[in-house]
């Protein structure tokens, strides 16, 4: 809740480990707010909730955030740094080997753009960089806000393959989309949101 | 007992202030050097005391208590906010009564006197605190930021005090502060001043209490609009 | 904490090196402001005045406001905030890193503006160099304070316009101390009192930053 306007109310939700959950709903239904809440990016003002064993009301949300990967609408990095420098910053911050950066860029097909300043990348490329950022981070909980938005068909196929690997690796994925996946073989459960509440889990 | 003393706070304040004015204006004698101007002695120092020590002190303590996890509550935030608001009024009064005193003494309304300058800077701090609060809508964010700013202000008090004092005194040439004449404070004057101090201090707490109650009412009003917004949000979903 | 501080500081400086905002926007503004202050003095006083130290600090203050804003805006670009938040960086480290980067940027600016005031306002070169240590420490205190006040303004209404209101009263004692010790250096002396002011302010802001920066980030 922010600025005195309730973003979410009446959300009752249990998400199992290593599953894919798709949050659907119209614009302004509260999809992004739900994801931010799950990632500890926003505070819960009332009610109760636990993510990865951390209480959302009075737990240490910084600890929770370290275990969460976030992919937002916008490019989620420092626009003046190159793709590689952004990933190296994340790797160093989390004390992950910097050597994994090259592999992650390779995996998302951005190896040839490694030294390009992020602001010069196209929207789709920035999306891919965002995914690479998550690959370097290897979070337990992946929170993806409209990940299909600026991907072309090849991008979607690639992305589904990547999600399958992530789930097989034991991580949990929650993503938001306008509709349930159209062309995906992934097993998922859908959460429909309307007007700030879950209407059909 | 507490209820009774709360109810008596207002009348007692008014009584003491009336007494101060009566003693200050009619009973006490004019000063040999300063004449009737000396009567400012009964209001200016007590107002400055409330502005710089009582209200700033209350705001700082309440802010610390807010940041301290165990004593964190909106009560502390409201106390800090209300005291700072009252402080702005009292600092303005301090500067005004100071200028009125300074005009005949120094010949100008504003002089780069050390105390006057540091009071003005602190006044800007208090205004900045109110500006910061206005810029943040979220109650938790507003409270946290306000508390941090209040603590930074408190830390600045001695830094400002000494920097301005030394700025004024540490340069070649004589000390500019012309002596305002030694006042022989005694007898009826001392009593009047003392009553003034107690009266204005009580005035602060009386204002704080009333302002606090107003703030609680305002928060309740905001909460009721949130309920309305919640209902509206639910209707969106139907 | 130190590791994160270093990481954040090098990141900020690298961004600065890439975008060149300091070089192409901030420094020209500072130089123009210095020229304008000379013009404001009038032709007879511009070259002979003892106002050099005061004008130098006044211009530096306004330039610092721009840099503080820029330093905080980096972290609050759309999208950046959320993904950097999920790195869970130690807030004390972030504060120290950002303050360090800002200090270095302000030092560069300070040296350029000092050269400018020697050139334009005819401040004595040798004595200006003697004032350099006090200038550098004052600018470090300014950075620590600025990083804190800058973080206070982010995410609210009008961060760029709120910043001057919050910072300038706190900069007043630093301006006084800096100007006085610069003026003392011009007359070939030094006064320990100004060092006390600046060092105490620097220590206080750094301590508050290390302890409370997390409170500001959490909002």
Q: Give C135-154 pLDDT, tens digit per residue.
A: 999 999 999 999 999 999 98
**What is the predicted pLDDT for the residue at A183?**
52
Mean pLDDT is highest, among A27-36, B7-16, C95-104, for: C95-104
Helix and strand counts by DSSP (H, E) for chain A:
6, 8
**What is the predicted pLDDT for the residue at A83?**
92
How does residue A61 score in pLDDT terms, banded at 50, 70 and 90?
confident
Note whether A145 and A199 are same-domain residues.
yes
Smallest Cβ–Cβ distance between C82 and the set A63, A72, A78 belongs to A72
Q: What is the 3-state secondary structure (H, E, C) of B166-225?
A: HHHHCCCCCCCCCCCCCCCCCCHHHHHHHHHHHHHHHHHHHHHHHHHHHHHHHHHHHHHH
**What is the predicted pLDDT for the residue at C81?**
83
| Residue B143 confidence (pLDDT) above 60 | yes
Domain closes at, from A89, A104, A138:
A138
Q: Inter-chain contact B163–C200, Cβ cutoff 8 Å?
A: no
Q: Does A47 touch chain B (CB under 8 A)?
A: no
| Residue A196 confidence (pLDDT) above 90 | no
State which H helix or E strand residue A199 sits in: strand A197-200
| Residue C129 confidence (pLDDT) above 70 | yes
Note whether A83 and A176 are same-domain residues.
no
Chain B residues with CB under 8 Å of A194 CB are: 236-237
- The Cα B126–Cα B82 span in angstroms is 11
In this prediction, residues C97-116 reach a mean pLDDT of: 96
Reference C143, options C195, C98, C178; nearest CA is C98
The alpha carbon dihedral of B7, B11, B14, B15 has a sign of negative
Helices (H), chain A: 31-38, 61-66, 83-93, 100-107, 123-137, 153-168
Q: What is the 3-state secondary structure (H, E, C) of C22-75?
A: HHHHHHHHHHHHHHHHHHHHCHHHHCCCCCHHHHHHHHHHHHHHHHHHHHHHHH
Lowest mean pLDDT among B104-108, B220-224, C202-206: B104-108
The ipTM value here is 0.90
Domain closes at, from A88, A105, A138:
A138
Whether B178 is covered by a domain: the verdict is: no
C78 vs A124, higher pLDDT: A124
A–C: how many Cβ contacts below 8 A? 69
**What is the predicted pLDDT for the residue at B181?**
46
Probe site for chain B from A9, A27, A57, A60 (most B CB atoms < 10 A): A9
Q: Inter-chain contact B156–C170, Cβ cutoff 8 Å?
A: yes
Probe site for chain C from A80, A140, A141 (most C CB atoms < 10 A): A80
How does residue A75 score in pLDDT terms, banded at 50, 70 and 90?
low
Whether A61 is covered by a domain: the verdict is: yes
Smallest Cβ–Cβ distance between C180 and the set B140, B145, B167 belongs to B167
In this prediction, residues B22-43 reach a mean pLDDT of: 81
Note whether A94 and A42 are same-domain residues.
no
Q: Inter-chain contact C216–B145, Cβ cutoff 8 Å?
A: yes
Domain closes at, from A90, A114, A138:
A138
Q: Does C166 touch chain B (CB under 8 A)?
A: yes
Mean pLDDT is highest, among A41-45, A141-145, B166-170, for: A141-145
Q: Do the strands A197-200 and A189-194 form a parallel or antiparallel pair, or are they unpaired?
A: antiparallel
The mean predicted confidence, pLDDT, of chain A is 82
Q: What is the CATH number of the domain that holds A186?
A: 3.40.50.300
**What is the predicted pLDDT for the residue at B175?**
33
| Residue B171 confidence (pLDDT) above 60 | no
Give percent of chain B above pLDDT 90: 47
**What is the predicted pLDDT for the residue at B180?**
47
Q: Does A2 touch chain B (CB under 8 A)?
A: yes
Q: Inter-chain contact B134–C157, Cβ cutoff 8 Å?
A: yes
* Chain B residues touching chain A at CB-CB below 8 Å: 137-138, 140, 222, 225-226, 229-230, 233-238
In this prediction, residues B194-213 reach a mean pLDDT of: 94
Q: Inter-chain contact A195–B226, Cβ cutoff 8 Å?
A: no
How is residue A26 annotated by DSSP? Answer: S
From the CA of A39, how many Å to the nearest CA of chain B? Answer: 19
**What is the predicted pLDDT for the residue at B172?**
39
**What is the predicted pLDDT for the residue at A2?**
31
In chain C, the residue whose alpha carbon lies closest to the alpha carbon of B163 is C173
- The Cα A34–Cα B83 span in angstroms is 38
Boundaries of domain holding C6: 2-217
> Would you say A71 and A136 are in contact if contact means Cβ atoms under 8 Å apart?
no
| Residue B195 confidence (pLDDT) above 80 | yes
**What is the predicted pLDDT for the residue at B127?**
95
Helix and strand counts by DSSP (H, E) for chain C:
10, 0
Q: Inter-chain contact A72–C77, Cβ cutoff 8 Å?
A: no
**What is the predicted pLDDT for the residue at B237?**
59
| Residue B179 confidence (pLDDT) above 50 | no
How does residue B186 score in pLDDT terms, banded at 50, 70 and 90?
low
How does residue C113 score in pLDDT terms, banded at 50, 70 and 90?
very high
A200 vs A116, higher pLDDT: A116
**What is the predicted pLDDT for the residue at A184?**
64
Q: Inter-chain contact C165–B151, Cβ cutoff 8 Å?
A: no
Chain B residues with CB under 8 Å of C193 CB are: 162, 166, 170
Query: How many independent structural domains does chain A possess?
Result: 2
**What is the predicted pLDDT for the residue at C173?**
93
Q: Inter-chain contact C86–A63, Cβ cutoff 8 Å?
A: no
**Chains sharing 3 or more CB pairs under 8 A with chain A:** B, C
Q: Inter-chain contact B166–C165, Cβ cutoff 8 Å?
A: no
The mean predicted confidence, pLDDT, of chain C is 91
Q: Inter-chain contact A72–C83, Cβ cutoff 8 Å?
A: yes
What pTM, to 2 d.p., does this model score? 0.89
- What is the tens place of the pLDDT at every residue in A144-195? 988 887 777 888 888 888 888 888 888 899 988 877 665 566 778 888 888 7
Chain C residues with CB under 8 Å of B137 CB are: 157
Query: How many independent structural domains does chain B possess?
Result: 1
Boundaries of domain holding A131: 77-138
Chain B residues with CB under 8 Å of A196 CB are: 233-234, 236-237
In chain A, the residue whose alpha carbon lies closest to the alpha carbon of C15 is A80
| Residue B173 confidence (pLDDT) above 60 | no
In chain A, the residue whose alpha carbon lies closest to the alpha carbon of C88 is A66
Whether B40 is covered by a domain: the verdict is: no
From the CA of B87, how many Å to the nearest CA of chain A? Answer: 27
- What is the tens place of the pLDDT at every residue in A123-143? 888 888 988 988 988 888 999
Residue C106 CB contacts under 8 Å (≥ 6 apart), including other chains? C60, C64, C67, C139, C140, C142, C143
Whether A6 is covered by a domain: the verdict is: no
Whether B106 is covered by a domain: the verdict is: yes
Boundaries of domain holding B101: 48-171+192-225
**What is the predicted pLDDT for the residue at B185?**
60
**What is the predicted pLDDT for the residue at A56?**
80
In this prediction, residues B162-176 reach a mean pLDDT of: 64
**What is the predicted pLDDT for the residue at C219?**
53
Give percent of chain C above pLDDT 70: 98
Probe site for chain C from A45, A76, A91, A141 (most C CB atoms < 10 A): A76
B190 vs C7, higher pLDDT: C7
Probe site for chain A from B224, B233, B238 (most A CB atoms < 10 A): B233
Q: Does B67 touch chain C (CB under 8 A)?
A: yes
* Chain A residues touching chain C at CB-CB below 8 Å: 36, 39, 41, 61-63, 65-66, 68-81, 85, 89-90, 92-94, 117, 130, 133, 137, 139
Which whole-number Å values give the CA distances from B161 to B94, B121, C76, in the listed order? Answer: 16, 10, 35
In chain C, the residue whose alpha carbon lies closest to the alpha carbon of B156 is C170
Note whether A147 and A184 are same-domain residues.
yes
Whether B26 is covered by a domain: the verdict is: no
C-alpha angle C30-C35-C36 in degrees, rounded to nearest 5: 95
- What is the tens place of the pLDDT at every residue in B49-91? 999 899 999 999 999 999 998 888 999 999 999 999 999 999 9
Reference A186, options A178, A175, A201, A200; nearest CA is A175
């Amino acid at each position: 809740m922010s600025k005195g306007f309730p973003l979410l109310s009446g959300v009752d939700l249990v998400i199992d480990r290593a599953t894919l959950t798709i949050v659907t709903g119209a614009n302004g239904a509260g999809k992004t707010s739900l994801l931010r809440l799950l990632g500890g990016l926003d505070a819960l003002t009332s009610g109760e909730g636990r993510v990865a064993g951390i209480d959302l009301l009075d737990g240490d949300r910084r600890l929770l955030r370290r275990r969460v990967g976030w992919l937002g609408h916008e490019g989620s990095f420092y626009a003046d740094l190159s793709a590689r420098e952004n990933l190296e910053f994340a790797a160093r911050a989390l004390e992950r080997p910097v050597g994994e950066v090259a592999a992650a860029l390779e995996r998302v097909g951005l190896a040839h753009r490694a030294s390009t300043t992020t602001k010069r990348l196209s929207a789709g490329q920035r999306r891919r960089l965002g995914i690479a950022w998550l690959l370097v981070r290897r979070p337990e909980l992946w929170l993806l806000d409209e990940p299909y938005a600026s991907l072309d068909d090849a991008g979607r196929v690639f992305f589904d393959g990547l999600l399958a690997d992530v789930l097989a690796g034991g991580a949990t994925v929650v993503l938001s989309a306008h509709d349930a996946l159209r062309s995906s073989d992934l097993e998922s459960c859908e959460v429909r949101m309307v007007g700030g509440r879950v209407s059909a889990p | 007992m507490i209820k009774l003393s709360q109810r008596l706070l207002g009348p007692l304040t008014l009584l003491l202030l009336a007494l101060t004015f009566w003693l200050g204006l009619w009973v006490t004698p004019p000063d040999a050097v300063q004449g009737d101007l000396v009567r400012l002695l009964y209001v200016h120092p007590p107002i400055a005391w409330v502005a710089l020590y009582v209200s700033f002190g209350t705001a700082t303590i309440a802010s610390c208590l807010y940041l301290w996890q165990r004593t964190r509550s909106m009560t502390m935030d409201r106390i800090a906010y209300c005291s700072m608001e009252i402080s702005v009024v009292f600092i303005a009064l301090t500067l005004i009564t100071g200028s009125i005193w300074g005009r005949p003494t120094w010949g100008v309304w504003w002089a780069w006197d050390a105390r006057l300058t540091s009071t003005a800077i602190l006044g800007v701090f208090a205004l900045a605190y109110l500006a910061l609060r206005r810029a943040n809508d979220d109650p938790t964010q507003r409270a946290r930021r306000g508390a941090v700013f209040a603590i930074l202000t408190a830390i600045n008090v001695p830094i400002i005090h000494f920097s301005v004092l030394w700025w004024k005194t540490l340069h070649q040439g004589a000390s500019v502060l012309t002596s305002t004449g030694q006042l022989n404070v005694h007898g009826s004057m001392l009593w009047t001043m003392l009553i003034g101090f107690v009266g204005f201090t009580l005035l602060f707490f009386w204002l704080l209490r009333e302002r606090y109650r107003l703030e609680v009412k305002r928060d309740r009003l905001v909460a009721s609009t949130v309920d309305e917004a919640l209902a509206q949000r639910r209707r969106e979903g139907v | 904490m130190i590791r994160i501080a270093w990481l954040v500081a090098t990141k900020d400086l690298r961004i600065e090196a890439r975008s060149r905002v300091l070089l192409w926007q901030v420094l020209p503004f500072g130089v123009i402001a210095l020229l304008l202050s000379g013009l404001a003095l009038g032709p007879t006083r511009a070259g002979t005045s003892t106002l050099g130290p005061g004008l130098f600090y006044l211009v530096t203050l306004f330039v610092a406001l721009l840099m503080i804003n820029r330093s905080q805006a980096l972290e609050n670009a759309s999208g950046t905030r959320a993904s950097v938040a999920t790195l869970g960086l130690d807030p004390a480290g972030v504060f120290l890193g950002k303050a360090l980067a800002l200090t270095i940027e302000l030092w560069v600016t300070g040296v350029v503006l000092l050269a400018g005031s020697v050139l334009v306002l005819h401040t004595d070169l040798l004595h200006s160099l003697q004032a350099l240590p006090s200038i550098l420490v004052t600018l470090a205190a300014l950075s620590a304070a600025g990083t804190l006040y800058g973080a206070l303004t982010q995410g609210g209404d009008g961060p760029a316009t709120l910043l001057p209101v919050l910072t300038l009263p706190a900069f007043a004692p630093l301006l006084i101390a800096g100007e006085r010790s610069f003026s003392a250096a011009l007359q070939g002396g030094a006064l320990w009192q100004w060092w006390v002011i600046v060092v105490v302010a620097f220590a206080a802001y750094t301590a508050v930053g290390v302890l409370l920066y997390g409170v500001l980030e959490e909002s």
